[in-house]
């Protein structure tokens, strides 16, 4: 028994939506830069595409509706699609790229549900390839890390720490000073390391200052708490 064009289209759209969803999830997982990859988010990227396509196709299939009701139904469909992102981001966003991948999943589902299969597939693949290229060439990555530096020493060593840090950093900001009678004075700075300077080197020049008892260096990452790289 031959399949009708409608059934063929639904099957094609379903297979394509699942395939593109898997591709989006795979691209996110391969390009993830954090420590703990969320499998639930990867699954969400995959599932959002066919779900969005289903909602859009259901609205388009209601051919009996007049123009006013159709417009209302399409608006309701877009509201449901937007709700997918809202529900997801009731949780903590640890990587701002999550917004990008959710948006790609939603747009891909809308395109498939709207009947633009070829255009949607090409557009989705192109955007994912662009993200991969930007990741590979490290586009937008700073030349040197931003660091939070803490050094514990004598009460009168602030100027020495600041002078030493200015020799290995492009920018130095004093953050805090805390005095503990039994341990000494702890000075905290936020710096942007100069090109070619790494964490062990910065820690070593601070330890070389007489009276220094403890040095702690933490890498700062936008959108996250400090990530300890060494001390």
**All residues at 6 or more sequence positions from 196 whose CB lies less than 8 Å from its CB, including other chains:** 144
* Run of H or E residues at 20: helix 5-31
Short-list 161, 200, 168, 217, CA closest to 184: 161
Interatomic CA distance for residues 165 and 149, integer angstroms: 9
Quote the DSSP letter at residue 84: H
pLDDT at 54: 85
Output the six-digit token pair for 46.
């995959």
pLDDT at 70: 57
Give the pLDDT confidence of 27-68 residue by residue, as tens digits. Answer: 998 887 766 778 888 898 899 899 888 878 777 766 545 555
Output the six-digit token pair for 205.
């020049």
Output the six-digit token pair for 154.
């004598």
pLDDT at 38: 82
Give the pLDDT confidence of 205-217 residue by residue, as tens digits. Answer: 999 999 898 999 9
Q: List domains and CATH numbers for the chain.
A: 5-136 (no CATH), 146-230 (3.30.70.60)
- Rg of the chain, C-alpha, whole Å: 26
Is the entire prediction scored with pTM above 0.75?
A: no
pLDDT at 205: 92
Give the residues of the chain that fall short of pLDDT 70.
Answer: 1-3, 5, 34-35, 61-95, 142-143, 221-231
Interatomic CA distance for residues 57 and 222, integer angstroms: 39
pLDDT at 189: 94
């Amino acid at each position: 028994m031959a399949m009708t064009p409608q059934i063929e289209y639904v099957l094609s759209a379903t297979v394509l939506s699942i395939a593109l969803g898997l591709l989006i999830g795979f691209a996110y997982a391969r390009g993830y830069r954090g420590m703990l990859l969320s499998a639930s988010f990867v699954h969400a990227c995959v599932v959002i595409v066919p779900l969005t396509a289903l909602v859009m196709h259901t609205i388009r299939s209601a051919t009996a509706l007049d123009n006013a009701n159709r417009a209302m139904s399409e608006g309701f469909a877009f509201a449901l699609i937007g709700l997918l992102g809202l529900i997801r981001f009731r949780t903590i966003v640890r990587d701002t790229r999550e917004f990008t991948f959710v948006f790609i999943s939603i747009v891909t589902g809308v395109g498939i549900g709207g009947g633009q299969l070829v255009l949607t597939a090409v557009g989705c693949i192109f955007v994912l390839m662009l993200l991969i290229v930007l990741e590979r060439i490290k586009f937008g990555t700073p030349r040197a890390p931003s660091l939070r530096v803490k050094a514990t020493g004598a009460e009168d060593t602030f100027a020495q720490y600041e002078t030493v840090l200015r020799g290995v950093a492009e920018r130095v900001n004093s953050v805090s000073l805390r005095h503990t009678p039994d341990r000494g004075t702890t000075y905290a700075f936020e710096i942007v390391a100069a090109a070619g300077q790494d964490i062990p080197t910065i820690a070593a020049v601070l330890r070389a200052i007489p009276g220094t008892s403890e040095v702690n260096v933490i890498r700062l990452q936008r959108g996250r708490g400090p990530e300890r790289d060494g001390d």
